[in-house]
Structure 1
Amino acid sequence: MCAFSTFATPFSSISYQFLGATPDYWCHVSELMEANWTQEQIITFAIPLSNLTGKREGCLMHNYNYTSAAQLGFNKVMSNIPSVSNIDDTLLACSSRVYNTSQYESSIVTEWDLTCDRRALYSTTSSVMQAGTLLGSLLYGHLLEAIGRRKTVLFSSVSSILTSALIIASHNVEVFIFLRMLNQIFDIGYYMGPVILSCPLLYEVRFTLLNFVY
């Protein structure tokens, strides 16, 4: 059980690397999409290159008259961009994005748009894991002694399974973050309990065998 707990628990933290995968993304330009422009055409026309990275911006787009551009069509507008440009050549922050689903079909980032001004929520989903580890360590240090190790491990295991199922059904990122922290707290419970119960016995047996051999 000691080996199982130390093997299974890290998967809860590692899973974040897959749940939070972030594909390439660009601004959603509704006028051009409704005009059936391809994604490549929209990116070429509407999405500027970053001066720092040399790649297309993910949170900014040109300040163009996209209604007029949609009426003219891609080929005509590319040959005369000033006709749809505003006087000030500023960049606009977009409110929604399009994601490259060929890289990752779905993740919490694409589902809840955790980029640009919402990127802080993405970081929070990772930070709460560490907060759950801290709270779980403080809580279970007392519970393991107060109500017994076996009861605590069983309670934590069942609670972890239930919260894992609820995480899958989360309908918004705030609920997801809260449940991830609860799940991490319960994971610490079934990690600490078996370690205290089983590991000392295993170490004693190993030490005895080593003394017998040598």
Structure 2
Amino acid sequence: MEGTPKSNKNAGTQRKTTTSIINNETIKKMKKRILLKENENLAQSIIELEQNQATNWGKVDNLLNECGLNVQNITSWTDIDSLLLKDFQFPKATIEFNLDALGIRTQYEQAKKIYYDNLRGTQYAIEVTAERIEEIKEEQRVYVTNQNQIDVIAYAEKLVESVNKLNSLGIRIDVNGILDCSTLFKSEARGSVAVNERNLFLDVQKII
């Protein structure tokens, strides 16, 4: 018995293997931007979460295949039960009785447990592609796009470079004075300064 329940249009795009939204036009635009911030830890957490979900969906998929079901787009476990009901030999009997009659109760219960323990509310996908991984990383990157924003970053980095160079040459710079002037900077070891990326991110977003 085979079937594919109708997908819920409001549940978002469902995919067996995820494709990328990054095309040539996007790449061209990316070349005109400067990466300001990248949350690598969050991106990695999302990647690992989706990979774990894909592994579990694969297990559910294999177990349901043993039950004679070929499902790719499901929005809830109710979809599975609806497909099974079509082949139940004893419509008035319990679902457990019918599963035993079909010889698939063990596979059904294993698949259901994996689903409710790990997959409830997730989209069906048994693979996280390289394109999807890059898409996740890109979602956690923040860019600046206009010249004023670019100039602020360039001048801030140049100032830090100049102050630290003077310090290395033996010219004493009042680092505290620099810190008092702007929150764009933070102190580092041995009297050096660095760009405060968090504050720079917040300030740059205000520049048109």
The answer to which structure has the higher helix fraction is 1
**TM-score normalized by the length of structure 1:** 0.31
Greater RCO between the two (CA within 8 Å, min separation 6)?
A: 2
**TM-score normalized by the length of structure 2:** 0.32
Structure with bigger gyration radius: 2
